[in-house]
Amino acid sequence: MSLTSAEIGAVVTELQGVLPGQILSKINSPIDKSIQFVFRRNVLWIQWHAGMTRLNLVDKKIPSHKTPEPWVMKARAELRGRILQSIEQLGDDRIVELKFSGSPSRSLLVELFGKSKVLILGAKREIIVPLVGNTASGFYRLPPDDRLSVHNDNRFGKADCKTLSVNRAVEEFYSSRAAEHRLSAAKAKLRKELRAKEKKLLRKISAMEKDLKRTEKTEELSRQAQAIKYQLSTLRKGQNRALLPDPFDPSAQMIEVELDPALDPLQNMQKKFSKAKRLNGAKGKIGPRLTHARAELENLRELYLRVAMADSEQALSELRPQTDSLKATAFSSSTTRNKSKRRQPYRIYTSAKGLTIMVGKSGKDNHQLTFHVAKGHDMWFHATGAAGAHVVVRLERGKDLDEQSLLDAATLAATNSPSANDSKVEVTYTKVKNVHPIKNAPPGKVSVSNVRTILVRMEPERIRRLKESLLVV
């Protein structure tokens, strides 16, 4: 709730005992809908946020890190360096006027109700500069008395010019409200981001489910292709469909086979075999990706609940890294993928413990991955003494790499090197910050310090699991 007329009157009464006679040295607006006057010994804060409208002294000035808005610059030009002569409440209303010395005469008037106004007036109360709010040019006139609110209680006690008790109580009350307001606004922004990611992820999951459903036709296409194969001599070009014996049914039940009339029987058979093979290959990739996307959706919804339950700005800031790293899945089915999408210089795999592993596709891609994508605290792998892919494991700052993820990354470095067919391969690994490009050397050629090595056994089951975790990017 904003300050009432009675509360503004108590605040102004206390201000009249301390502010007049002081030089106005600074004017700024640290947050939107606010103005801060820095005097020699005191700082006056005026704010007109909905439900938070107030004016009072604050213990210390709030730093302003943003470029001053034009209205702030105009206020500085008219008022900075002047001495405050008086401050008063007008008409027992939520209107306060600050009068300053100097020539030409200037005063600042603030209406703290409705669509608040901040105006600079001249000696005859003519409007010199309308800083905030829409107002007609001419002379300022007080609003009619019948506009005054009937809610005119005072929650902060009687004015005391010695202790400034009302000003202190107002500051304490609204500082607490401001923290609640910031937390609420931050939570709303974060929830909006998560909802957008959820919608994107749901669209991708829906597309993958449709693609997976299409792969169910694989067996039927193979059956039809085999039926055509055994009946090639009985078919002719131009047919739309044919009833043929089912080669997989011992009783030779007839099945209906759709044909492309523009193709001859052999071409129809090859087309169905080719489509069945393509769908079967897609099925093996879509399944793991769909599982991964559903797990990510579950994590996102859990994080959404944690954001909603955060009870402090500190608790919310601790969740921020997770929301920043939680991206909607970058994969989609081969039939819906945007072919104009920018090529990525790496392939993405997932370790047994859920960590992201990136594998460079070429020498130039290795350079791009290591020096433009990876972060210094990520872990870097490469087959020892051989050409091959740069492999990077994403790590949170300060986190160590678990044993299974280490073996997974080392295996990928080995399988993407000339030693891929060996039973054991030595792999070098270190932090990305220890990897440096060599001047005038081919892309991907690097020097490495603080290295460790591991002799990795080429385990077929591990290799198979890593291949299944591949995401198309």
Question: What does the mean pLDDT of the chain come to?
Answer: 87
pLDDT at site 50: 81
pLDDT at site 279: 74
How do beta strands 84-89 and 54-58 pair?
unpaired
**393 compared with 225, residue with greater pLDDT:** 393
pLDDT in tens, 382-391: 999 888 999 9
Dihedral angle over CA of 374, 377, 382, 385, nearest 10: 120
- The helix or strand, by DSSP H or E, that contains position 9, with its residue range, turns out to be helix 5-15
- Kindly state the tokens that stand for 286: 């879509």
Domain that residue 223 falls in: 181-325
Given a cut of 70, is residue 206 above it in pLDDT?
yes
The string of DSSP codes covering 230-246 is HTGGG--TT-SEEEEE-
Domain membership flag for residue 95: yes
Answer with the one of 111, 129, 163 that is the final residue of a domain.
163
Given a cut of 60, is residue 72 above it in pLDDT?
yes
Q: For residues 228 and 312, state if they share a domain.
A: yes
Domain membership flag for residue 298: yes
Q: For residues 436 and 372, state if they share a domain.
A: yes
Q: For residues 364 and 429, state if they share a domain.
A: yes
pLDDT in tens, 134-145: 888 899 998 876
Quote the pTM value.
0.45
Given a cut of 90, is residue 189 above it in pLDDT?
no
Q: Are 45 and 55 in contact (CB under 8 A)?
A: yes
pLDDT at site 181: 75
pLDDT in tens, 355-375: 889 999 998 999 999 999 999
pLDDT at site 334: 39
Domain membership flag for residue 336: no
Q: Name the residue with tokens 């002719």.
A: 236
Q: For residues 27 and 138, state if they share a domain.
A: yes
The string of DSSP codes covering 190-220 is HHHHHHHHHHHHHHHHHHHHHHHHHGGGHHH
CA proximity to 9, closest of 157, 162, 177? 157
**334 compared with 455, residue with greater pLDDT:** 455
pLDDT at site 146: 60
Confidence grade of residue 412 (pLDDT, cut at 50, 70, 90): very high
CA proximity to 170, closest of 50, 48, 5, 10? 10
Q: For residues 129 and 200, state if they share a domain.
A: no
Given a cut of 50, is residue 336 above it in pLDDT?
no
Average pLDDT of the residues in 444-472: 89
Distance in angstroms (rounded) separating the CA atoms of residues 434 and 392: 13
pLDDT at site 207: 85
pLDDT in tens, 147-159: 555 457 899 999 9
Domain membership flag for residue 333: no
- Kindly state the tokens that stand for 192: 């909006």
**270 compared with 332, residue with greater pLDDT:** 270
Q: For residues 286 and 425, state if they share a domain.
A: no
Q: For residues 69 and 138, state if they share a domain.
A: yes
Q: For residues 45 and 147, state if they share a domain.
A: yes
Q: For residues 297 and 357, state if they share a domain.
A: no
Given a cut of 50, is residue 104 above it in pLDDT?
yes
Cβ count near 168 (within 10 Å):
17
Q: For residues 14 and 146, state if they share a domain.
A: yes
pLDDT at site 147: 57
pLDDT at site 300: 86
Domain membership flag for residue 337: no
Count, in order, helices (H) and strands (E) of the chain: 9, 19
Given a cut of 90, is residue 209 above it in pLDDT?
no
Distance in angstroms (rounded) separating the CA atoms of residues 448 and 183: 45
Helices 313-325 and 265-309 meet at what angle, rounded to 10?
A: 170
Average pLDDT of the residues in 292-319: 83
Answer with the one of 130, 163, 196 that is the final residue of a domain.
163
Q: Are 409 and 381 in contact (CB under 8 A)?
A: yes
pLDDT at site 337: 42
Q: For residues 113 and 30, state if they share a domain.
A: yes
Average pLDDT of the residues in 32-58: 92
The CATH number given to whatever domain includes residue 143 is 2.30.310.10
Residue count of the chain: 473
pLDDT at site 325: 66
pLDDT in tens, 310-329: 878 778 777 777 776 664 33
pLDDT at site 224: 86
Domain membership flag for residue 240: yes
Split into its structural domains, the chain has a count of: 3
What are the backbone dihedrals phi and psi of residue 233, each rounded to the nearest 5 degrees, phi first? -70, -20
In a 10 Å sphere around its CB, with 0-12 CB exposed, 13-18 middle and 19+ buried, how is residue 71 labelled?
A: middle
pLDDT in tens, 258-270: 898 988 989 989 8
Domain membership flag for residue 46: yes
